[in-house]
Structures are given as C-alpha cells and as structure tokens.
Amino acid sequence: MVAFLTISFSCLQLRFLMLADNQFSGHIEEFPVVNDLELLDLSNNMIKGPVPSSFQFQNISSLSLFGNLFDGTFHLQKIQSLSKLKRLDLSYNNLSINTTNLSSNFDGFPQLVILNLASCNMYEFPYLGDQSSLLTLDLSNNHIGGDIPSWIWETGRGYLNLSFNLLTGLEKPHFVAIVEYLDLQSNKLLRPVLLFSIITSPNSSDSVIFLGNNQLTGVIPTSICNAFLIRVLDLSFNNLSGSIPSCLINKSFVSEVLNLRGNKISGVIPDQFPSKCSLETFDVSNNNLGGKVPKSLINCKNLEVLNVGNNNLDGRFPCMLPLKLHILVLRSNKFHGDLRCRRSWPNLQILYISSNNFSGNVSLLNFSSLRGIMLQESYTWNAFTGSIPNSLGELTELGSLDLSENKLTGRIPEDITKLFLSILNVSYNYNELT
C-alpha cells in the first residue's frame, strides 16, 4: 500500500491525485518532491505517522488529509512557501498544530480560501489577520481559550466554526466608530461589542457561524440590529445572559437556524416574527425564558424544529404553529389547559410535552391527524384524564410512548399493543389502568 502511494507521488507530470474514502493504511515514506502536483486528497483513510516533509509541492492548490491517523507535530509555518495553496484540511487526525512564528509580518504566506484545523490539539489561534480571501475557517474541537481575536472578523467568512473550545470572551474590535457609537466605557461591555462586529462585517451576508460549546459570557447586544443577514447562528451552550434582542426576530437577522440553547437568557421571546420569516429551526431551550410562545411564529411557514423546552413559559398549547413542523418540544415549562386544536401537523415526528400542567381528557388531541409521528411521544408529568384513545393505534411508525404520571383510567387499547414500540410507559396513573 505504501509502495503504491510512493510510486503515485513519483509519477512525472502527475497533477491530481484523489484517493479519499478508501482503507489505505500504514506510513507514507519520504519521496522526491513532485512540483507538478496541484491537488492531493487522502482524506478518510487510515494513514498514520507524521506528515511527510516531502509534501512541499510548489504548485499545490489543495491539500486534504482529513480523517486519518497522522500524528506528531505539524508546524503551520511549513506552508509558507506554498504560494499557490488555497485549501488546507488537516482536521480529525492525531496531529498537534504548532502555530509559533506566525505573525503579521509573515511575508509570503499563501492566501487561503479554506482552512480546516478541527480537532488538531491547538491551544491558541494561528495569526491569520492578512487572510483577506479566507471564506471557510474551522478551528472547532480544540483547546483554544481566552478571547476571540478581533482580526477574525475583519474579513467576512462564509463559514466560521469555533465551537467546542474554551473561549471566554471577545477582544475589543478595531472598529473605533462602532465603539464610539455604542458609548462603551466599562470592561463589562466590551464583550458584546465583538459579537456586534462579528456579524456586521461587510462580507458576512449569508454566513454560517458556530460559536457553541464555549464559555462565552455577557449579553447579546441590541446593536446587533444593524447587522447583515446570517443564515445560521449557533451560540448554544455558553454562559450568555440578558434577553433576546428583538432585532434577532423582527429583522430576520438569522434566516434559517437560530440556536441559543443552553445559556442563561431571560425575559420573553419577542412576539415580532415578520410576515416573511424564513426560519427553519428555532431553539431557545434550557434557558430562563418566561411568557408565552409568540403567536407571530405562524409567519414562519418553513419552521420544522421548535424547541422551547426547559424554560418558564406558560399559556395554552400553541395551536397556531406552522404546519411543516417535524419536531416540537414544549417539555418542562408551565403550559396548561387541554390539547384541543383545530389544525394538525402531518409531518410531526417528535413531540415532547412532558412536565407541564396540561389537563383535560387526553382524547381531545386528535392523534389520528398526527400520522407522521414516528420517534417519540411524551406526555408525562401532566394531569390528563380519561382513557387512552384508540386513535393512538393509528400511529403505525411510533417508536415510543410515555403517558406516565397522569390521571388516566380504563384499559390500554388493543391497537397500541400491536405497535412496534421500544418503550411503553403508563406507570403512575389510576389503578383502573390495566
């Protein structure tokens, strides 16, 4: 196998070598440098050992070693001489990336378009302040701590992933006009400024930004209202506090996915979703939100995932929700009342309404109209009464059913016993339930 690779590299006038998604293993021995090679893709194999020093192809534009077992230390300064390199992907190996000797004076460094260094055992940011062409940057799954440097936002990124690191704050940006406009005088307010400058970069329209699973603190600033459109914004599982800026909602700042899950955000969800709302996923679960599910969510015709679980929301079951819903999570709130709705959700696959104060006869919800439910259905810890409706037996693709901790009576319908359920929990109901 190694011999095959060595022979391939040594072929004269070889320009493109694509060996991705195979089961190549072993080491790659050093070989004479081949300057004609323009593209090398060895991703998703089982090649191990250090990255050969012979990978100094002067005409290389794309080098992808993603998803192998390469180990040792890779000094990022090695690519300095590869002036034509546009794409470098070393993600998900056993490598440790060394970023020393990278500075703003690093002359001749190639102008990259894609740089993926996910899970590369990095502890600090590589300096990329002069990378004006860089559209995709993935530094996720590393050990990078401290502040996100301001130079990261000086040029627009089509895809930015800094998730699963140890980031705690945001450096004061270079955009002096923005600082003066916000009139920020204390260190406590410096962190929100950068979040503002992240998304107000002139080239950030239609971007995808992942900052989840870090340790970011502070509030999401209201100045975000002046930002450009972002397709996906993930700030989940941080320590962000304060309220949800209304501009995130009424200006459709985020066009497809807004994920604020697992923070310390309080207040209410602004009832200002615009008539042309294009959101597909809205997740604010595991926060400290109160109030009601906004009625204006009906404007989000493409909404497929709504997760408001584990908050302090109240009100009745939100019957106005869009018909395209696939996943609806209302669990662990203070919702109350019965489940009487005039509409149905034929595409619904997952429904969680457990640990609320829903009551009334469980048959008021027309289960036969929810034929799409196929994975989970949880009605635990409520106060439903009456018998289990026969219409549940029509959910032929239902995977699990949990009706525990209610006040149900009567018999378990025979049609339910014919379903292929992995879980059936009807415990802690009235004794007549048999």
Place of tokens 């490598």: 95
Start-end of H helices in 76-223: 176-182, 190-199
Percent of the chain at pLDDT exceeding 70: 80
**Radius of gyration, CA atoms only, the chain:** 27
For 241-285, write each residue's pLDDT tens digit: 999 988 888 877 889 999 999 999 999 999 999 999 999 999 999
pLDDT band at 108 (very low <50, low <70, confident <90, very high): low
Mean pLDDT of the chain: 82
Residue positions counted in the chain: 434
**What local confidence, expressed as pLDDT, does residue 8 receive?**
60
Average pLDDT over residues 32-54: 90
Architecture of domain 2-425: Alpha-Beta Horseshoe (3.80)
**What local confidence, expressed as pLDDT, does residue 116 receive?**
97
Query: What single string gives the DSSP state of each residue in 44-72?
Result: SSEEEEPPPTT---TT--EEE--SSEEEE
**335, 359 Cβ separation under 8 angstroms:** no
Start-end of H helices in 86-236: 176-182, 190-199
Least confident of 94-103, 207-216, 396-405: 396-405
**40, 60 Cβ separation under 8 angstroms:** yes
pLDDT band at 360 (very low <50, low <70, confident <90, very high): confident
pLDDT band at 201 (very low <50, low <70, confident <90, very high): very low
**219, 195 Cβ separation under 8 angstroms:** no
pLDDT band at 418 (very low <50, low <70, confident <90, very high): confident
Residue 154 has pLDDT above 80, yes or no: no
